[in-house]
């Protein structure tokens, strides 16, 4: 089931990663075509502040993934709704303050970014910042709502919103350049409007009755807001490091090669950010699913997930790297047409950039897994090293010997050095060479349920329901439980699994999976059901047919506590059954 879930999530995660970079890429193309290299340079100088907007949104999005994966792992919809309400409220308030600050002090921000105090470069940097900042609430809202769309299984709506945003941005950029002649301000404003369009499309779900999340100002609490920020803080380290790196590289390249080098770096960074959607996708899955499995104390699922994501990271990094390597001249020509020094710089830099995609994917996978499993300081250290310190150091040192081409090694050198340091750290902590992906998780020896107190099974047919039910009964008796309690647990499995296979597996023409997990605690048993059928809440089920209703009522009567959630396109039901006294 993990393999199927990862495949389903990966496309949506990659598309969601494009929600910020796609508009920036389109703007860069339009600016280069209609305003030339000086326009690209102005855009590049504005980029750190644009990334700062994304950093705040990413902080909240990461906090949502951590906090809500914990509540989903515990089966608490109330806590998930509190996280949703608090995240939406904070995103709205912070983005409005950010927008007002940028609009009020735009000239000061332009000077801070290195645009000087006057001239065309200053004017264009200031104008783009003003236009783009109007969309800050929508761009931040997109980042915050994406995790909730994924949890609710609304991948198609997410893709629709991204495609609509792209088409609208292209259309408005063309109107700005060919009809309104609004310059850099119009380019930034076009992106802002396209973000609002994506938000309106997403609102069709969040404002509908079928939305699984419920917003309430009463659930917006200081405690939950603090939890979101604390959980998302490691991700903000990564974004803050990226802002710092772009700022330092801009200054360094202006000194090495002037506006040509700065324009080339902006093109490399823009194409690279879009290519890194695979990095964000891998990292997002790692953060969400590792959080769920860690809070379920499911060591087997964690190891299986990490091995699977490792393979995806290498495969996707290799494929995307090959695309950049082969098509670098064509991609750069979209931004810088004709043969000149800036274009040649950018082609070489983009091909060097391609070599860093596999290390970056692997580092994102591990970094987010560490965050999901509570190793916050390690996550922050990796984010800072990979995001700013090591790439900037590599660019500074190598450019002393190789000039501008040496600076282009910043991305692969930073990724490889970070991988090496992580491996050395794991070696020092475990005393073993970390050949296997699971060795990098650094789980406690006592983490999870002892194998002798755990039973797991996958069910695909009615015949398997009976077999798993008998196996569960034998398992409970072998652990010292009375035949009566063992029969109750077996009955719960038989009734719930039978209903899932009989009514959930049929009807939509798709193949489905059901997993059952039984574990023993000192004073109770936990029985967890997870399936990828259409949403069905047995805890609050209002019967329409008598037969399934009888079985569900019986199971709810036997359980001391029952929790249901629907997330990640899956039903999760957790039953707590007390042990024999």
Q: Which residue has the tokens 């282009």?
A: 408
Q: How confident is the prediction along the chain (581 residues), in pLDDT tens digits per residue? A: 677 778 777 877 776 666 656 666 777 788 888 888 788 888 888 878 877 777 777 777 777 766 776 676 666 677 778 888 888 888 888 889 989 998 999 999 989 888 888 888 899 999 999 998 898 888 888 777 777 777 776 777 877 887 888 889 889 989 998 899 888 999 889 989 988 998 888 888 888 887 878 888 888 888 888 878 877 776 667 777 877 888 888 888 888 877 788 888 888 988 888 888 899 889 888 888 888 788 777 888 888 889 999 999 999 999 999 999 999 999 998 888 777 788 899 999 999 999 999 999 999 999 989 988 888 888 888 988 988 899 999 999 999 889 889 999 999 999 999 999 999 999 998 887 788 777 888 888 777 778 888 898 988 888 899 999 999 999 999 888 889 999 999 999 998 998 888 888 876 677 888 999 998 888 889 999 988 888 888 877 655 555 556 778 888 888 888 888 777 678 888 888 888 75
Q: How far is the C-alpha of 294 from the C-alpha of 69, rounded, in Å?
A: 9
Report the pLDDT value the prediction gives residue 163, as an integer from 0 to 100: 82
Count the neighbouring beta carbons within 10 Å of the beta carbon of residue 326: 12
C-alpha distances (whole Å) from 321 to each of 278, 308, 327, 407 are: 11, 20, 10, 19
**pLDDT reported for residue 323:** 94
Topology (CATH) of 451-578: Heat Shock Protein 90 (3.30.565)
Token look-up 């855009």 returns 43
What's residue 123's pLDDT? 92
Nearest to 119 by CA among 41, 31, 24, 27: 41
DSSP sequence for 29-62: HHHHHHHHHHHHHHHHHHHHHHHHHHHHHHHHHH
pTM score > 0.85 for this model?
no
Tell me where in the chain the CATH 3.30.565.10 domain(s) lie: 451-578
Question: Could you report the per-residue pLDDT of 444-487, keeping only the tens digit for each?
Answer: 877 777 888 889 898 888 889 999 999 999 999 988 888 999 99
Cβ-based neighbours of 564, under 8 Å, separated by 6 or more: 75, 77, 537, 538, 539, 540, 571, 572, 573, 574
Q: Which of 72, 57, 59, 87 is nearest to 212 (CA)?
A: 72
**Whole-angstrom Cα distance, residue 229 to residue 62?**
9
H or E segment and range at residue 529: strand 524-531
Cα 178 from Cα 571, distance rounded (Å): 51
- CB-CB contact of 62 with 232 (8 Å): yes
Per-residue pLDDT, 24:
67
Q: Does an H or E element contain 361, and which? A: helix 357-372
């Amino acid at each position: 089931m993990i393999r199927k879930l990862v495949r389903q999530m990966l496309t949506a995660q990659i598309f969601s990663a494009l929600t910020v970079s796609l508009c920036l890429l389109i703007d860069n193309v339009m600016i280069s075509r209609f305003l030339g290299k000086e326009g690209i340079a102005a855009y590049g100088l504005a980029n750190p502040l644009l990334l700062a907007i994304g950093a705040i949104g990413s902080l909240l999005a990461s906090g949502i993934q951590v906090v809500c994966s914990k509540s989903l792992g515990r089966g608490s919809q109330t806590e998930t709704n509190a996280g949703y309400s608090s995240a939406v409220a904070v995103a709205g308030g912070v983005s409005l303050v950010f927008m007002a600050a940028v609009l009020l002090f735009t000239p000061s921000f332009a000077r801070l970014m290195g645009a000087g105090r006057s001239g065309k470069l200053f004017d264009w940097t200031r104008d783009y910042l003003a236009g783009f900042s109007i969309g800050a609430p929508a761009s931040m809202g997109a980042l915050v709502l994406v995790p909730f769309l994924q949890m609710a299984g609304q991948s198609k709506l997410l893709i629709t919103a991204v495609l609509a945003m792209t088409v609208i941005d292209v259309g408005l950029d063309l109107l700005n350049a060919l009809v309104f002649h609004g310059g850099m301000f119009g380019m930034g404003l076009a992106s802002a409007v396209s973000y609002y369009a994506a938000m309106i499309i997403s609102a069709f779900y969040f404002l509908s009755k079928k939305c699984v999340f419920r917003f309430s100002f009463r659930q917006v609490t200081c405690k939950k807001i603090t939890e979101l920020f604390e959980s998302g803080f490691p991700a903000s380290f990564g974004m803050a490091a990226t802002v710092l790196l772009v700022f330092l590289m801009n200054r360094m390249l202006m000194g090495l090669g002037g506006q040509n080098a700065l324009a080339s770096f902006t093109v490399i960074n823009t194409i690279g950010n879009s290519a890194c959607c695979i990095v964000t996708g891998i990292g997002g899955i790692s953060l969400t699913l590792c959080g769920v499995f860690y809070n379920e104390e499911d060591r087997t699922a964690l190891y299986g997930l990490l091995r699977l994501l490792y393979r995806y990271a290498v495969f996707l990094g290799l494929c995307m790297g090959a695309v950049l390597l082969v098509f670098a001249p064509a991609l750069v020509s979209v931004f810088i047409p004709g043969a000149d020094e800036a274009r040649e710089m950018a082609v070489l830099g983009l091909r060097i950039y391609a070599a860093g995609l596999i290390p970056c994917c692997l580092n994102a996978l591990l970094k987010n897994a560490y965050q999901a499993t509570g190793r916050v300081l390690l996550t922050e250290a990796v984010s800072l090293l990979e995001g700013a310190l090591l790439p900037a150091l590599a660019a500074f040192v190598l450019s002393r010997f190789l000039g501008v081409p040496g600076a282009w090694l910043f991305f692969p050198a930073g990724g490889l050095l970070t991988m090496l340091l992580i491996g050395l750290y794991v070696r020092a902590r475990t005393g073993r060479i970390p050949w296997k992906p699971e060795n990098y998780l650094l789980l406690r020896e006592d983490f999870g349920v002892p194998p002798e107190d755990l039973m797991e099974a996958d069910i695909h047919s009615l015949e398997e329901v009976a077999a798993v039910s008998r196996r569960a009964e034998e398992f409970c008796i072998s652990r010292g439980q009375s035949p009566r309690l063992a029969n109750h647990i077996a009955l719960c499995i038989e009734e719930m699994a039978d209903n899932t296979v009989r009514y959930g597996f049929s009807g939509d023409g798709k193949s489905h999976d059901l997993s059952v997990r039984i574990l023993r605690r000192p004073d109770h048993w936990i029985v967890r059901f997870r399936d990828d059928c259409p949403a069905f809440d047995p805890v609050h089920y209002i019967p329409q047919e008598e037969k399934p209703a009888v079985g569900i009522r019986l199971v709810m009567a036997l359980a001391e506590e029952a929790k249901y959630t629907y997330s990640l396109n899956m039903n999760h039901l957790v039953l707590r059954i007390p042990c024999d006294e």
